[in-house]
Structure 1
Amino acid sequence: MPQNADDSFYDRADAHIELSNEQLGQVQDLGKVSASMMFGTTRFNAWVSARNFKSGEEMAQAREAMLTYFCDQYRMMLEDNLDDHINNFATYMQGSAK
């Protein structure tokens, strides 16, 4: 489980995924919906990060550390989910069109 996870971690993640699935019905372009979800995540994380600083200058000094943290977390979560889909491909993709 990722850092800062609590009992409702997966419920919140599933709610975001559900919203993206609803948007697929309107846009019907996986890439566009994925890009919007990723942008929203980065924008929210930048805002959450900014709340920990007193000034833009102070935040700028921590920029590289924040980039490292968020990129490492994203990579770890993506690796876990890619491995999960590789190991359960037949089950997860049953009935999915290419």
Structure 2
Amino acid sequence: MSDSDKAFFTRASELIELANKQNQNKEVKTGEISASFMYAVARYNAWFGSTSFETKEQMQTHKQEMMEYYVERYKEMLEANMNDYIEHFDHYRKTQK
């Protein structure tokens, strides 16, 4: 695994750790934490996408293209992680109890 890959997974793990920490608050439902994370990544990616443009008109012109890119990447990552959980279901669920 390259240093870049290691850094990628370290950043992801830090975000997951934050979600797990928030999940310890029994007054907050896990689904609410998931929704907050989805909102946060959508907000961050909207900002990140805006950094490629000089004007809002330029961003508007490329909006659909950017949305398709982000949705497709999310779909790929979600499918890979769903497949991983299905393949290792008993192990993952056992370690979460």
- Provide TM-score, normalisation by structure 1: 0.89
1:1-98 to 2 correspondence within 5 Å? 6-26=5-25, 27-94=27-94, 96=96
- Provide TM-score, normalisation by structure 2: 0.90
The CA deviation at 1:76 is: 0.2
Runs of 4+ in 1 over 2 A off after TM superposition: none
CA distance in 2, matches of 1:89, 1:29: 22
Q: CA RMSD in A?
A: 1.4
CA distance in 2, matches of 1:75, 1:95: 26
Sequence identity of aligned pairs in percent? 34
Looking at both structures, which has the greater relative contact order when contacts are Cα pairs under 8 Å and sequence separation is at least 6? 1
Q: Please list the CA deviations of residues 32-53 of structure 1 after superposition, one character each: whole Å capped at 9, or x if unmatched.
A: 0000011000000110110000
The CA deviation at 1:95 is: 5.2
* Structure whose residues are more often helix by fraction: 2
Q: How many residues in Structure 1 have an aligned counterpart in Structure 2?
A: 93
The CA deviation at 1:25 is: 1.4
CA distance in 2, matches of 1:90, 1:30: 20
Which stretches in structure 1 are left out of the alignment for 5+ residues? none
CA distance in 1, matches of 2:49, 2:95: 40
CA distance in 2, matches of 1:96, 1:18: 13
Which stretches in structure 2 are left out of the alignment for 5+ residues? none
